[in-house]
Every structure is written in C-alpha cells, then in structure tokens.
Amino acid sequence: MLASHSAILRFAFCSVLLLGLIVRGSAAEAADAKRLNVLFIISDDLTSTALSCYGNKVCSTPNIDRLAARGTRYTRAYCQGTYCGPSRASFMSGYYPHATGVLGYISPRKAIGDLATWAQHFKNNGYYTARVSKIFHMGVPGGIEAGTDGADDPISWTERFNSQGPEWKAPGDGETLEGNPDGKKPVVGGNTFVVVEADGDDMVHSDGKTAKKACELLDKHKDEPFWLGVGFVRPHVPFVSPRPYYEPFLPYSKMTLSPKVPGDWDDIPKAGINYKTSVNMKMDERRQRKAVGGYYASVAYMDAQVGKVLDALEAAGLDDSTIVIFTSDHGYHLGEHDFWAKVSLHDESAQVPLIISVPGKQPAVCDSFVELIDLYPTISGLCGLEVPARLQGLDIAPTLDNPDADIRDTAFSVNGKGFLLRDNDYAFIQYGEDAKGGIELFDMQKDPKQYTNLASDEKYATVVDRYKARLTARLQAVRNNDLSAGNGK
C-alpha cells in the first residue's frame, strides 16, 4: 500500500513537473512570438529638407513618405556628430562622442571595450543581427568601390554584407563641379562634388545591391527575431544615379538656390565657416544648381530602394511585427549661407530626418527635441530587452503614444571644433571648450535661418553666460556618464 502510494506521489510530482516545463516552454515560445523585429534604415548625408514628407515641393520621396504616414515623424531630431564617423559611433555605442573619444573615423570598440553596441545587445538576446553596407563608418566612395568593411564592428553582427559599386567611375555623363572653374577637370573620386547621370539600371550601383540583399534577408529570416541594419550611401557624394532619376530636375537651371545674404559671414567666427563653401569650391551658380539637382536625383534613387525594402517587409508578412526606423547620420547644406555638405553646427547640418514606425502605434508628428543616441535605449525597451544603465540616451517611447510629450528641452551636437546646444529659444555654438575659437548665438524664434549672430551684442551677454555654463555642465555630465545634470531635460 505504501509502495503504491509512493508511486502515485512520484507520478503526480512528475506530471506537475512536466506540466510546468510545458507551460514555461509555451510561455517562452509565446514571448519569442511577440518579440518585435527591428529594421533600421539609414541614408548617408541626408538633409530632411530634401524629403517631401518634410515639406520639399521639388524632390518627391513617396516611399519615405509612406513610412512617415504610418509612423511618428520627428521635426527636431539631432545627430550627436555632424560628420559620419562620430555620429554613427555614437548612436551605435550609446555614448556621446566626447564620452567615447570617437571624434574621428574609427570604430567605437576601443572606447567601449566589452560593452555591447546597439546591434550586439540584440544579438546577445537571441536576435539575428545583420548589416548591409554602411552602418558604422565606411569610406564613400573609396570603401564602396573596394567593397571593404570600413570602420566596422564585427562583434555586432551575425552576418555582414558589403555592396560594391562603381561610384564616380560609373559609365554615363559626368561632371566635376568642385574646383573646376574652366570645366577641364575630368570626373574624379574622393569626397568631391561630382554628378554622374549613369547608364544602366538600379542594380549597377551600391544602393540597388543593398536593397536586393536586404529583401533577401527579410524573407530568409522572417521566422526568427532580427535586427537588420540597411545602410544606403546616397545622397553622399558623388551624386551618381541612373538617368531616369535625373529627369524631374532637368534642366538644372530650374533648381532654386538658397538666398545669398550680403555680409552673411561677417559676424561668424572663422571656425564657423564650413569646410566646403561656394567660394573655396569655386562653384558658380550653374554648378550650384546642378549640385542641387544631382543631390535630389540621388535622394530619389535612394527613396526608390527604400520602397523595395518596405515592399519586401510587407510581402514577408512582417509589417505587424517589425519596428521600422528611417534616419540619416547628419544633415547637409545645399547652399544655405553659401555652405555645402556637412560638418557645420547650423541646423541644416545638425538636424536629421527621423521616422519611427511601431506596430500598433498611431501615426503622428512630434516636435520634441530628440537625439539619435536615444534610439538604442528606446528600441531596446520597445522590444522588451533590458536597457543597459550605462546608456547616455533617453527613452523617447512616450512620444509614440503622445506626440506632444516633451522628452528633451535641448539637443547637443559636436563637430570636432565646437559644440552646439539647441533649444526652443536659441542655437548656441561654442568653438573650443575655452571659447577661444568664438561663439555664435541665434534667436531661433526671430531668426530661424540663423543669419544674425548675437554673441557679441551686449544685450545678450547674460544669455551667452547662461549657455556657456550649461555647456560646461553638459560636457562634464557626458564625460562622467552622469546625465542627471545638463542632459537636456
């Protein structure tokens, strides 16, 4: 009898244990089934003002627009470095450039050691992670021509893929716009303003190959959680796209240039004059108009590739289980202040497009200040992952439910020479921690295009002192990873 009773107890215990394992297994499977995927799409050197969803009436971007129509579009998103390497190292590492020391074109791995990058954090939590083309810094056009990895971080990825392309060597009609006043210079490589109306179709070029590989990966990995980074290199120079993308912008003479304001540079410190200008590039008005048209054609080509990826996401049945992010590493000047390209700390260079589409969230437009460094903690939290305490970004998820939520009152960015504090009232730019390189102060309510530097006006002396103190506090907080002070909230 006792033996029989013991057998019954053992059977009951085993049954409960088995049931527990089944329940836990089912719960784990359910949790995995609910895990959101991440599709991170980034364009290189893209100003938000070139996108029709941000108000451009000349350059049509229907595919980015359709993402904006279903997601939250941020009107005041800022990068943390206004050139490629530091910006990408920052949002992928979760640290500001002055915390990592990554102010050049290197991987953040030396600075963050064993700490996980954004993609690596997902990989460590069971996600398939892959990058296609440029996520960390990669030389354009050189790295694209060679098909090399650039300043990549291999630990971040389950797999990685490069998308080789001919860049400025593409067959077609090309012209070097920079440093070519007599028109005799041939088409050249490097970080040079070149327009090539290219022969052949989308697949001749890097971004066409990137879109194709991304589509393949979406289909291949649709049944497992993934973090997929898709890095398009256009509209980074050279402005190279298949001929059909140029047609809406021809003749180039119809392209409108930004206003030229006499004496615009007179009140700007030498350090504030951008590294590329109409003057030092020797670009006359004809070439400037062609540069704008070539840039827009590159944007249109990139937008078409974004459309292919979004179509593949839908075809794979992943729309309802994937967070989609679209952004750029920094903005871009198209002749404003006679500046071209990136690096400056003016809004055209520091502000970026940012669209986040999350399943179940309503479309919206958010005017809160946000930063690219906020993506790592925000997306981790949305996917149910632990948010590492070390991260220097903020969780902007509340804006996805309430677009009127204020996450930050100030954005912070750097360019290797100086620092930007940008809030609702002023844009404060200081060159050097001791301000020996000069200061710029713009009233963003009265002077949103930043034409009048108020820094030397005695009436604004207390304002300048206030922002200098805020910048000092912000830099100290960043370096100490203590964002309880000066963190923009």
Active site residues: 84, 137
| Dihedral angle of Cα 486, 464, 421, 48, to the nearest 10 degrees | 160
What DSSP string runs through 249-311?
G-SGGGPPPPPPPTTTTTTS-GGGS-SSBTTTTT--HHHHHHHHHHHHHHHHHHHHHHHHHHH
Distance set, CA 115 to CA 60, 66, 73 (Å): 41, 36, 30
| Cβ neighbours for 258, distance < 8 A, ≥ 6 positions apart | 334, 335, 336, 337
**CA–CA separation, 153 and 106 (whole Å):** 10
Segments in 182-251 forming alpha helices (H): 206-220
Supply the DSSP symbol for 383. Answer: T
**440: closest CA among 224, 190, 272, 210?**
272
Residue 323: what are its φ and ψ, rounded to 5°? -80, 130
Residue 166: what are its φ and ψ, rounded to 5°? -80, -20
Task: Tell me which H or E stretch contains 239.
Answer: strand 239-242
- Establish whether the linkage from the previous residue to 154 is cis, with ω within 30° of 0: no
Query: Are 431 and 269 spatial neighbours (Cβ–Cβ below 8 Å)?
Result: yes
